[in-house]
Amino acid sequence: MNIPLVDLTAQYRAIKEEIDAAVLAVLESGRFILGPQVAAFETEVADYLGVKHAIGVASGTDALVIALRALGVGPGDEVIVPAYSFFATAGAVLSVGARPVFVDIQPRTYLMDVGQVEAVLTPRSKAILPVHLYGQPADMDEILALARAHGLAVVEDNAQAFGAEYKGRKTGALGEIGCLSFFPSKNLGGYGDGGMLTTNDDRLAETMRMLRTHGWKKKYFPEILGYNSRLDELQAAVLRVKLRHIDEWNRRRREIAAAYHRLLADLPLGLPVEAPERTHVYHLYMVAFERREEVQRQLKEAGIAAEVYYPQPLHLAEPCRALGYGPGQLPVAERASRQTLALPLYPEMDAERLQRVSDHLHTIVLGLQEQI
C-alpha cells in the first residue's frame, strides 16, 4: 500500500458529482474568463474571510507581485520577509525591483521571528511580508503593531493557510492585503494554477483589479502598466464547490495532525508546535530530524512519500546572492532547511495509513538513533 503526500484523486472521487456538474455548466455557458463564476467565487471568499474585496488572479505568485505593485513598492524600496518560505515570497519582491530584507524564523513554529524585524528597518522599508507557513498564522498582533509604528504596509502571504484563524479572525483579512494560492495541493486547491488578493481598502482593490487586466478600467484603455493575470471560470467553478467543504477538510487535517502528535510523541523528532490563540490548518505536517535524507529515503523504499519544504533558505537562493547574505547569517532558517520533512497528510487519509506511517517512522528513526 503506497501512501502519497497528498491524494487529490481521493478528494475528487468524494465530490465528483458536484465537480463534474460545475465544470459542465461552465463548458455549456461559453464563458471562460472573468465571468459569473469568478464574480460569485470572489464574493463567497470575501464573505468567508470577512473582507470587502476578493480579486481572483492567475496564481499565488501573481497575487504577491500585484499586491506589492498596488502598494507602490518598487526600485529602492525594501520589504521585510522571513528567510524560510517558498521562493515566491522573496521572488515577488525582486520582481517589482525592490530588495527583500530577510529575518530569521522561530525555531519551533518556523514563523517569522518578529523580534528581529525592528533591527533591520531602514528609511527604505516599505512593507512587511509575513508568511502563514504550513497553515499556521504568523504573530500578527506584533507584526501589525510594528508596521503601524513605522508606517509600513503588511502583506500576508496566506498561500498555505486558507481557513486558518488568528484570535478568531481569518488569515488573509488582517493586513492591508492578503495573498492566496489555489495551487492543486493547497487546502483549497483548484485543478490548475490560481490565486486571489483580499483587502478592505477600496483604493487598493481598484488598483489591483486594474493590474490583473492590463492596467485598464475600461477595456482597451490602459491607465497603468498591468498584467494578464486572471482567475478563469473553470477554476472558479471548481473552487466554489470546494469552498463548501473547506471547513470540514481543515477540521479533518487537524484531527490527523493530532493523531500524528500522539503516535510520534515518543520519537526524537521535532514535531509541529501550535502557537497560542490561533487555528493551525496543517497544509503540511512537518517533522525535523538531523538525518532527514536517510529517513526520507527509507520511507520512500517503504512506499511512503515524504517531501522537503524547503531545501534552501531564501537568503541563499541564487537570485538573492547579490544581496550579500551568506551561510551562517540566519542559522535557524538554515537548520530548518537541512532538517524538516513533510509527512503524508490529506483529509481522506485513514487510520490504517496513519498507523503505517507511524510504524515505519519508529523503525527508521529508532534504528538510526542506535547507530549514533
Give the pLDDT mean for 136-163.
98
Domain boundaries, the chain: 8-103+113-243, 246-370
Q: Give φ, ψ of 271 to 5 degrees.
A: -95, 160
HSE-CB at 260 with a 13 A cutoff on CA atoms is 26
CB atoms closer than 10 angstroms to residue 289: 22
Residue 171: the pLDDT is 98
Q: In terms of Cα–Cα distance, which of 149, 110, 107 is closest to 130?
A: 110
Q: In terms of Cα–Cα distance, which of 17, 350, 57, 68 is closest to 231?
A: 57
Task: Give the C-alpha separation, 308 to 198, whole Å.
Answer: 29
Question: At which residue does the C-alpha cell 486594474 appear?
Answer: 210
pLDDT tens digits, residue range 308-359?
Answer: 999 999 999 999 999 999 999 999 999 999 999 999 999 999 999 999 999 9
Which residues pair with residue 155 across a beta bridge?
Answer: 177
**Average pLDDT score over the chain:** 97
Q: Are strands 165-166 and 278-279 parallel, antiparallel or unpaired?
A: antiparallel
pLDDT tens digits, residue range 13-31?
Answer: 999 999 999 999 999 999 9
CATH topology of domain 246-370: Aspartate Aminotransferase, domain 1 (3.90.1150)
For the chain, state the CA radius of gyration: 21
Cα torsion 34, 35, 37, 43 to 10°: value is: 70
Q: Do domains 8-103+113-243 and 246-370 have the same CATH topology?
A: no
Domain covering 8-103+113-243 assigned CATH 3.40.640.10 in the classification: yes
Which residues pair with residue 82 across a beta bridge?
Answer: 103
Residue 156: the pLDDT is 98
Q: Express as a percent the part of the chain with pLDDT over 70.
A: 100
Give the pLDDT mean for 78-92.
98
Amino acid (1-letter code) at residue 297: R
Residue 372: the pLDDT is 59
pLDDT tens digits, residue range 191-234?
Answer: 999 999 999 999 999 999 999 999 999 999 999 999 999 999 99
Give the pLDDT mean for 295-301.
98
